[in-house]
Amino acid sequence: MALLQIAEPGAVSEPLREHQIGVGIDLGTTNSLIAHFDGEQLSVMADESGETALPSVVHYGVSETLVGRLALEAAQRGASGPIASAKRMLGRSRQEFKDDPYVTLAPGEGLAFETSMGPKTPVEVSAAILAALKERAEPILDGPIAGAVITVPAYFDDAQRQATRQAAELAGIKVLRLLNEPTAAAVAYGLDEQSEESSLLAVYDLGGGTFDISILKMREGLFEVLATGGNSALGGDDFDRALADHVLREAGFANPSSTQRRVALRLARSMKEELTTSESVTKSLSQLGDGLTEVTVTRELLETLIAPFVEQTLQACRQTLRDAGTDTVDRVVLVGGSTRTPAVQKAVADCFQLTPLCSLDPDEVVAMGAAKQADVLVGNRGEDQALLLDVIPLSLGLETYGGLVERVIERNSTIPVARAQEFTTARDGQTGLLIHVVQGERERVEDCRSLAQFELAGIPPMVAGAARIEVTFRVDADGILEVAAMEQETGARAEVVVKPAFGLDERQITDMLKAGYENAGEDMLARKLGEARLEAEALIAGIHGALAADGDLLSDSELADLQGKIESLQAAIDSHDPDQIRESTEHLGHASEVFAARRMDRSIQVALQGVALTDLEAEEDAP
């Protein structure tokens, strides 16, 4: 069974002429893999030693670049600068890592690693890993690679997705699509276990540096992501660091060097992997220098150290179930090497009250699903097709007058998606409009994340509220956002592909959703207050303009009464009671009705000056 390509509206399908080679790539934090599906045989491609997993480690020497196991061997020989876990730094800022003791940054403002070849960005490091995978696959395949589906965590934001694309382009790989890792896992599992009955699937994906939880609905070949959650900066690396810190404390190193930290991290990773099948493990500490000669770690101790991180994943699972509108699922799939940890497997089983599925290698399942999707996207379709429907993780919208957020695309909307909404100007004679794109679940701009700003110029000068400006949000199948604004009368247009400067950190990504729920009542009150104030201020501004033009139509007592109600409304605006503001607005509106009627009469009289009654009658009789 093949998968259905998600095409943009208006796309034209061309007949298949020859078999194309597409590959699926799992660009992982700890390990990366490349797979190929030829319509019948699915294979995860191995290196010369038979290893399918390429360690996501790069060593930049003075004259050579080593990737994978060669880089690890260089690190064991004491070579400085081997770079690991670059994926968790893609699309993020230098500020987020300036105090990270496990990262050696190059001098300067940007985020880059210090190496013997000079500064190297996370994009360049990821490109080296992707290029090594490409070099592995090309001799095995019978022709050139037409393109690749590269998987990313579902919670990767636009900056992180753009950085992943840039890395692929730098490696000479055409990106067919960025596919969310949980969805790729569902492809690998769901196609083998199709059922006519509708079922819910939870994909728990805990890798080296990222965590995703997705709830998918599967029915008759349709895979729909109902809700997704997670943390783009939480994974097995945190397990390793917690254990490494413990080892360093046990060895008596209060202020370890960067070399000692790297050695401790390698020891911790090795001990964690051995504790998957053993109850305890003992390691020599001779490489750390003077101090303890060895350390023993039990599985129970490891479970204690990693418990806070596991609990964070379970909190995300519970929240995502609520977002999906369900309490239970029919199946749970484990993805990612960190799910081999017994404590993780038990915690997931207890959370969902189900024994998780793990019949496919959790390290390979994502690459396998991506390979199947790639076979479709290069044009190799079968008669039976399955549709993948991903969702966006956080709402997208823009700032409106008064600092309020107008959500244009709600979170958990299926992608690709396009939404258009009409806006207008807030002031008379306004000829430009600043579009501020934001992301989040709160009602006020200050509580959301700013993504981008751009200006629409060329708006004809009109009275406030007369201009018609259509703003369109488009999110493509890769989760990339494009925002366009067009003034309807002149056709003036401006647009931006959102490329924020850095990604959400591990606290922001979970706190934004949590804050949206916890502050819902407060936010709605703030929105009501903001909207009431805007309406009141617009009415006052309109009446002031009318008085400047036709104030002579009112008697002194009428003018005084109107001014008094304006002052009352102004006082209400300064309060924090939206109901009081709306009530005062209504009073002022009623008080100004007589004035508005007199102004209308005057404008009619002015328009009819010099026009004979017979001329009007002739216009009425005209065909």
CATH placement of domain 2-390: 3.30.420.40
pLDDT category at 11 given cuts 50, 70, 90 is very low
Give the pLDDT of residue 526. 63
pLDDT for 394 beyond 90: no
User: What is the chain's length?
Assistant: 623
pLDDT for 225 beyond 80: no
Give the pLDDT of residue 427. 76
The letter for the amino acid at 357 is L
- Catalytically annotated residue among 87, 120, 272, 565: 87
Q: In the chain, pLDDT over 90 holds for what percent of residues?
A: 18
Give the pLDDT of residue 506. 37
What is the DSSP code (8-state) at residue 21? -
| pLDDT top residue among 428 and 27 | 27
Q: What's the number of CA atoms in the CB half-sphere (13 Å) around residue 29?
A: 25
Which class is 530-608 in CATH?
A: mainly alpha
428 is catalytic: no
181 is catalytic: yes
pTM above 0.75?
no
- What is the rounded average pLDDT of the residues 425-433? 80
According to DSSP H, which parts of 440-577 are helical? 506-518, 520-550, 556-573
Place of tokens 């319509």: 39
CB neighbour list of residue 447: distance below 8 Å, 6 or more residues apart: 440, 515, 519, 523
CB 431 within 8 A of CB 458: yes
pLDDT category at 107 given cuts 50, 70, 90 is confident
pLDDT for 345 beyond 80: yes
The CATH architecture assigned to 396-518 reads Sandwich (2.60)
CB neighbour list of residue 14: distance below 8 Å, 6 or more residues apart: 379
47 is catalytic: no
SS3 452: strand
What helix, strand, coil percent values describe the chain, rounded to 5?
40, 25, 35
Give the pLDDT of residue 190. 55
Exposed/middle/buried for 8, CB within 10 Å: 0-12, 13-18, 19+?
exposed
- Catalytically annotated residue among 205, 441, 523, 531: 205
What is the DSSP code (8-state) at residue 120? B
CB 171 within 8 A of CB 25: no
pLDDT for 505 beyond 50: no
Give exposure, 595-614, as e/b (b: 16+ Cβ within 10 Å).
beeeeeeeeeeeeeeeeeee
Give the pLDDT of residue 496. 76
pLDDT category at 209 given cuts 50, 70, 90 is confident
Q: Give the DSSP per-residue string, 246-295.
A: HHHHHHT-SS--HHHHHHHHHHHHHHHHHTTT-SEEEEE-GGG-SS-SEE
pLDDT category at 503 given cuts 50, 70, 90 is very low
Give the pLDDT of residue 5. 34
What is the DSSP code (8-state) at residue 444? B
CB 18 within 8 A of CB 380: no
pLDDT tens-place string over residues 508-549? 434 544 555 455 555 566 657 766 777 777 788 778 878 888
pLDDT for 304 beyond 90: yes
Tokens coding 282: 């003992």
- Catalytically annotated residue among 96, 181, 375, 441: 181
Give the pLDDT of residue 133. 94
Annotated domain spans of the chain: 2-390, 396-518, 530-608
169 is catalytic: no
User: Which of 100, 114, 105 is CA-nearest to residue 233?
Assistant: 100
pLDDT for 501 beyond 80: no
